[in-house]
Structure 1
């Protein structure tokens, strides 16, 4: 079975698996177009899969998302062509939860500014405006009640933070659950862990960001468009918010002209919260199993369409 891994990463197929895996960097559109016609399975990461791509792939039977979010896949186009789509919820949860914690700490402790000053030979003494803060004793609000949020909650509570969360399904019986607006008003740090849908697009807009306490920190390791970036830039530039830790953006790859990249109270990463060797191992375990199931005519794991 010919598998196209659409990422610059090496995969050694198990001899018994019957898989012929070829990789292609996401930015190499020419190579991608050449490899698509022979692909039976596409292992997809982030570069959007469009209807035009699928038109070049007459043999494609499965788009396997390596991760959870399928907003980068043309689901209707895949369904029209009889191409199955599956994801793998939870496989990157540990890595993303740890990255969210990393971004919180980095924003609170002004790591971007201190890193730049230290590299420039002027790291000491630190001026009083750069005194950082601790997570212990702060209230952290989690947007989402899934596996990533659950893992992160345990980490935060071990540090000494108070954790609140909100979710699409109300859970009034849980004292840590809050409606969204109430959660924002109570949170010194808010962290996003929800998918991007029509309902969640710009969920954190200007009005909702204004509900956060002065000096609050915003962290996003989910999808960029859940936050209105222009409103976030305004709140950070004015000093209304204390900082942000961002792994995802409305436009990706992130252009150098993005104003968030110019703010020294913002820590940025290029959508790599999931990117660990352990995550890749879990990805390949699920992806290979679904290829086996596809070949055997069995029900796929975590089929989306």
Structure 2
């Protein structure tokens, strides 16, 4: 059986796959090139860059499953996969700790102006310490969380460990340990606002210019979810006009972003290249957890429903 990889995955996951079939890594992610590889593939696995669209799925007559090594499946046409009876495997738990820790890291880096201080010291400017002003101390601040899934709850837990007061907004989840707030209240009250939502039609563009305008001028915004959820133009204007103190961003609406993106010119922004999941533990876990279920399917065993985005196709 041919197992198609649209991107590199952890070597331990590749070893597992090799016991179930012949593993092929595609180098060219041009849509037509990808589509041609689907024809004789039994399973297709992606991470974040490789997209699996309807045309590809219709070309895959031998497909038994699709998989995303990660928690989000917005780069897979799950609706078409479901119509075709193809399970979509993912790793709902694998990314939780790595992403949550990255969000906290961004809060600290932005709040303490880490990028600016590091650069100035390397340039011989030790006296920057006397001119930069005070940094943001997390203790006692209000942490607002958009989306209270696994990652959101972990961020809340870590925020509490720093002595932060946690409020949250979620369309589907409730947790009596934290105070629920509507979206407008969340944006108004948060000293640090962290986005932890899944990307879908309802959340795309949810952090728009109106909501961003409600934030305190001393607040910072953290996005470790998906770039398409934030109006980057409105965010950039708020930062440039000092209507917002800073932003920590691991995801952008276009990846990679253009080299002249206006956010790159701002000292009150810390940007990382979608690496929140790339820790020694998280990267391996999300790949191995996903691949174990792919192997189950290819070898005729029932997969763990917890790892299937569209469980209805398995229970039929």
SS of the residue corresponding to residue 168 of structure 2 reads: strand
Query: C-alpha displacement at 1:189, in angstroms?
Result: 0.5
Distance 1:15 1:231 in 2: 44
The 1:230–1:299 alpha-carbon spacing in structure 2 relative to 1, beyond 3 Å, is same
The 1:230–1:14 alpha-carbon spacing in structure 2 relative to 1, beyond 3 Å, is closer
Aligned length: 305
Matching of residues 2-81 of structure 1 within 5 Å: 2-11=2-11, 12-14=14-16, 17-24=19-26, 32=34, 35-47=37-49, 48-55=51-58, 57-81=60-84
Matching of residues 188-203 of structure 1 within 5 Å: 188-203=191-206
Distance 1:172 1:62 in 2: 34
| Farther-moved stretch of structure 1 (10-19 vs 38-47) | 10-19
Distance 1:165 1:37 in 2: 45
Q: How high is the TM-score relative to the length of structure 2?
A: 0.86
Residue deviations 1:275-305 (CA, integer Å, cap 9, x gap): 1221232223322321233121524533223
Structure 1: any 5+ residue segments left out of the alignment? Answer: none
Distance 1:35 1:229 in 2: 35
The 1:36–1:141 alpha-carbon spacing in structure 2 relative to 1, beyond 3 Å, is same
SS of the residue corresponding to residue 56 of structure 2 reads: helix
RMSD over aligned Cα, in angstroms? 2.5
Residue deviations 1:97-139 (CA, integer Å, cap 9, x gap): 0000000001001112112222322243434334312111211
Of the two structures, which has the highest relative contact order with CA contacts closer than 8 Å and spacing of 6 or more? 2
| Farther-moved stretch of structure 1 (62-71 vs 14-23) | 14-23
Maintained 8 Å contact 2:97/2:151 = yes
Distance 1:16 1:250 in 2: 35
| Farther-moved stretch of structure 1 (244-253 vs 256-265) | 256-265
| Farther-moved stretch of structure 1 (281-290 vs 21-30) | 21-30
Maintained 8 Å contact 1:8/1:24 = no
Distance 1:16 1:37 in 2: 20
Maintained 8 Å contact 1:260/1:266 = yes
Query: C-alpha displacement at 1:73, in angstroms?
Result: 1.1
Structure 2: any 5+ residue segments left out of the alignment? Answer: 311-316
SS of the residue corresponding to residue 104 of structure 1 reads: helix
SS of the residue corresponding to residue 22 of structure 1 reads: strand
Maintained 8 Å contact 1:165/1:176 = yes
The 1:164–1:291 alpha-carbon spacing in structure 2 relative to 1, beyond 3 Å, is same
Query: C-alpha displacement at 1:75, in angstroms?
Result: 2.4
Match of 2:300 among 292, 296, 302: 296
Distance 2:38 2:119 in 1: 43
SS of the residue corresponding to residue 248 of structure 2 reads: strand
Query: C-alpha displacement at 1:218, in angstroms?
Result: 0.1
